[in-house]
Every structure is written in structure tokens, then in C-alpha cells.
């Protein structure tokens, strides 16, 4: 399966290279070039899977494989979206100019099929015949230029269709690789024996706090007040304000304190993600809690610095145990949901990319940052980059 997915990726890159080299610079070709870079990133990620399996630190290696794959998908999604938008623009142009273009094509067809001497004959005599020739000599270059423009537009559409078809084939064959990487990661996290431990299994105080909590705010406040035997990581967390990477590839659905359709306001971000997306910690932190809580589903609470708490909610699978000290970029869990079968995955991805927005991103991760008793706007701390769309 690995060899098939790598071969498909290589074929995709070769096809994109041909498209780029065989056509003029157009918006569609620019989108193809971006997709070409994304395809190369996907190929490199899939090729690293075998190396990750034999790595000394499988957790780190597999995390890099999965995150590289997801970043490549995000970049490819954007390239496909731009290409599809260009295709739609050209189709709209054809529809708006259908009658005029039909006349142009008819005139060009007549010029091609009729002998030039016949076209230039005029029953009024030589003078009228000369005038006809002058008119046609003026019109013909314009008709040819119009026909060439139409051909360029058709070439762009052909380029987009080739991109979409190649992407669908490659993604379908590569799906098994990333699914295997996720399975291996879950096992590697469990087996990891080098993780520093700050304190042992969740104490009775933590369980009692969870049972008594009426809200996430109550629970987080209780976590912050708990006595612990060793402090949080000593890195300059406050100095990282404005530069933290987002923990997941996705789209910010609702910013801080924005009301949702049910009228509920939450002091954090709701991020739409693809099924089974990887969630990582953006800063060295100690796990203070992991498990179900109220109606939030699975919750992970990590302490990046004294008085600060990072809260993640909505994951289907959690990694690590209470007391584990995580390094920046370590995995903390996977989102829920499931991808389409391999034979449908590529075509579905291409369709979602063409639609844009949150299409295909069916899972939601809740992200909250707290300092003491106050919540902080993640927009002041995290960087919105090409991985996560605003």
C-alpha cells in the first residue's frame, strides 16, 4: 500500500509539472503550481512513514508524518479551491457571452471552410468586392484573436480538470498511509517510557473536583487552585504571546465570545477540523486533567506556566496521562469522525475543496486559554497561518 501511494503521488507531481510547463502563466496554472508544491509535501510525508516506524522516538516521528500530511492536504485544498474558482469564472463568462461567442465561432468556421476567393466575391462589382475584402481583412484578425482567447480559456479548464483528476487518484491511494500512522501513534504514545512525570495518577482531589463541577469554568478554577509538588515548565510562556501555533489544521468557526446559533457564548475558539485530525500542544506544558467533563466530551487541560491553563475539548481520543510533561508539538489527541472509503476519499476531497469554506470539516475542537480566573482571547496569542483559515 505504501509503494502504491508513493507512486500515485509521484505520478501526480509529474502530471502537474507537465501542465505547468505546457501552458502559459494563467490563474489556473498558478493554482496548479501551488498544488504541485502541496503534492510534493504529501509525497515526502508518506515516504517518511517507514522511517518513523523504526525511529527511536516514534511519537515524534509519527507526529511529524501526520502533521506534514495534514498541512499538505490543507495546501492542496487551497490550490484546488483556487483552480475550481477559476473554472467557475470561465464557465460564467461563457454563459454570459454565449450568443456572441456562437457568432464568433460561426464566422471563424465560415472563414476556415470557405475558399477565400468565394468569400471575397461581391455581385456589385470590383469596387464592392474590394470594400468587402478590406472589411474582412479588418475583422479576421479580431476573430482570430477572439478564437485564441477562447482556446486559452478551454486550455485552462482542461488544466483544472487534469489537476482534479490526478489529485483524487493520489489522495485515495495515500489515505491508508496516514491512517496507519495514526494507529501507530496511538500505540507509541502508550508505550513511550521516557515521558517525565510530575505527579502520579489523578489524585482523589481531582476526581472529587470533577464530580462537583457545574461548569468548565468551575472545574478549571479548581484545577488552578490544586496543590502540586513540582511547578509547571519554566519556559517564557508570556513571551510567546502572539506567536503560538494553532494546535490543529482547520477553520476558526467562531471567535472568542461570539454567539452561536443557539445563543451560547463561549470564551474560546471553536475550530472546524477534518475527521481524525491530529491535535498537538503548542507550548511545553504539564497535563493537569484528561477525560470526560460535563457536556464537553473529552477534555484535556494543560498548564504551560504558573497561573495559565490551556483547555482543549471535543477530541475522540486523548494521549498522555495526568502529570505528563509535554514538549511543544507533542500530540494530545485525535478528533473523531471517519474519512470516506479510499475509493471515494479523493473525489470527495476535491468536491469539498471546490465548495470551500468548512466543507468536509465535520469535527469541532474547542480551544480556551485562561489566566487565573480570567479567560483570554486566543487571537492575541495564536498565529493564524496557512494551516488554519480565519
Task: Tell me the pLDDT tens digit for each residue of 268-298.
Answer: 999 999 999 999 999 999 898 888 888 888 9
Calpha distance 248→58 (Å, rounded)? 20
What is the C-alpha separation between 126 and 114, in angstroms, rounded? Answer: 20
Rounded-to-integer distance, Cα 306 and Cα 28, Å? 50
102-106, 239-243, 262-266, range with the lowest pLDDT:
102-106
pLDDT at 295: 80
Residue 195: Cβ-neighbour burial (10 angstroms; 0-12, 13-18, 19+): middle
Instruction: Report whether pLDDT(24) > 80.
Output: no
Contact 365/273 with Cβ under 8 angstroms?
Answer: yes
Lowest pLDDT segment from 124-138, 143-157, 318-332: 124-138
pLDDT at 299: 93
Most confident of 116-125, 274-283, 323-332: 274-283
Could you tell me if 361 and 300 are in contact, meaning their C-beta atoms sit under 8 angstroms apart? no
Question: How is the chain split into domains, by residue range?
Answer: 2-98+146-191, 204-389
Cβ-proximal residues to 124 (8 Å cutoff; 6+ apart), any chain:
none
Percent of the chain with pLDDT over 90: 24
Between 211 and 125, the higher pLDDT residue = 211
In this prediction, residue 200 carries a pLDDT of 42
Query: What number is the average pLDDT over the span 247-273?
Result: 90
pLDDT over 80 at 360, yes or no: yes
Radius of gyration for the chain, computed over Cα atoms and rounded to the nearest angstrom: 29
Return all residues near 310 (Cβ < 8 A) that are at least 6 apart. Answer: 281, 282, 283, 285, 301, 302, 303, 304, 367, 368, 369
Query: Strand locations in 209-353, DSSP E?
Result: 244-245, 250-254, 269-273, 278-280, 285-292, 298-305, 308-315, 317-318, 325-326, 331-334
* Domain 204-389, CATH among 3.90.550.10, 3.30.1490.20, 2.70.70.10, 3.30.420.40: 2.70.70.10
Amino acid at each position: 500500500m505504501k509503494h502504491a501511494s508513493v507512486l500515485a503521488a509521484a505520478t501526480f507531481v509529474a502530471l502537474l509539472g507537465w501542465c505547468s510547463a505546457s501552458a502559459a502563466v494563467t490563474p489556473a496554472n498558478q493554482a496548479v503550481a501551488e498544488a504541485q508544491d502541496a503534492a510534493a509535501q504529501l509525497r515526502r510525508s508518506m515516504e517518511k512513514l517507514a522511517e518513523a516506524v523504526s525511529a527511536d522516538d516514534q511519537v515524534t516521528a509519527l507526529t511529524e508524518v501526520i502533521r506534514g500530511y495534514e498541512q499538505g492536504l490543507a495546501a492542496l485544498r487551497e490550490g484546488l479551491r483556487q483552480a475550481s474558482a477559476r473554472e467557475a469564472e470561465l464557465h460564467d463568462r461563457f454563459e454570459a457571452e454565449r450568443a456572441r461567442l456562437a457568432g464568433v465561432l460561426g464566422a471563424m468556421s465560415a472563414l476556415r471552410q470557405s475558399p477565400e476567393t468565394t468569400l471575397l466575391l461581391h455581385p456589385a462589382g470590383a469596387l464592392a468586392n474590394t470594400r468587402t475584402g478590406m472589411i474582412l481583412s479588418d475583422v479576421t484578425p479580431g476573430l482570430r484573436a477572439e478564437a485564441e482567447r477562447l482556446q486559452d480559456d478551454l486550455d485552462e479548464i482542461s488544466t483544472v480538470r487534469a489537476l482534479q483528476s490526478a489529485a483524487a487518484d493520489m489522495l485515495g491511494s495515500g489515505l491508508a498511509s496516514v491512517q496507519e500512522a495514526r494507529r501507530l501513534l496511538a500505540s507509541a504514545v502508550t508505550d513511550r517510557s521516557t515521558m517525565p512525570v510530575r505527579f502520579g495518577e489523578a489524585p482523589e482531589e481531582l476526581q472529587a473536583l470533577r464530580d462537583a463541577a457545574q461548569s468548565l469554568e468551575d472545574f478549571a478554577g479548581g484545577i488552578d487552585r490544586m496543590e502540586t509538588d513540582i511547578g509547571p515548565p519554566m519556559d517564557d510562556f508570556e513571551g510567546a504571546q502572539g506567536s503560538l501555533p494553532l494546535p490543529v489544521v482547520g477553520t476558526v468557526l467562531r471567535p472568542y465570545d461570539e454567539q452561536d446559533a443557539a445563543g451560547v457564548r463561549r470564551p474560546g475558539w471553536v475550530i472546524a477540523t477534518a475527521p481524525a485530525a491530529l491535535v498537538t500542544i503548542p507550548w511545553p506544558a504539564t497535563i493537569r486533567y484528561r477525560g470526560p467533563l460535563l457536556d464537553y466530551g473529552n477534555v484535556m487541560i494543560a498548564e504551560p506556566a504558573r497561573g495559565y491553563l490551556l483547555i482543549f475539548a471535543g477530541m475522540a481520543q486523548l494521549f498522555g496521562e495526568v502529570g505528563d510533561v509535554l514538549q511543544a508539538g507533542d500530540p494530545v489527541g485525535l478528533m473523531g469522525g471517519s474519512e470516506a472509503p479510499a475509493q471515494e476519499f479523493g473525489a470527495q476531497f476535491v468536491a469539498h475543496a471546490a465548495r470551500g469554506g468548512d466543507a468536509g470539516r465535520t469535527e469541532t475542537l474547542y480551544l480556551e486559554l485562561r489566566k487565573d480566573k480570567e479567560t483570554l482571547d486566543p487571537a492575541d496569542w495564536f498565529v493564524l497561518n496557512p494551516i488554519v483559515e480565519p
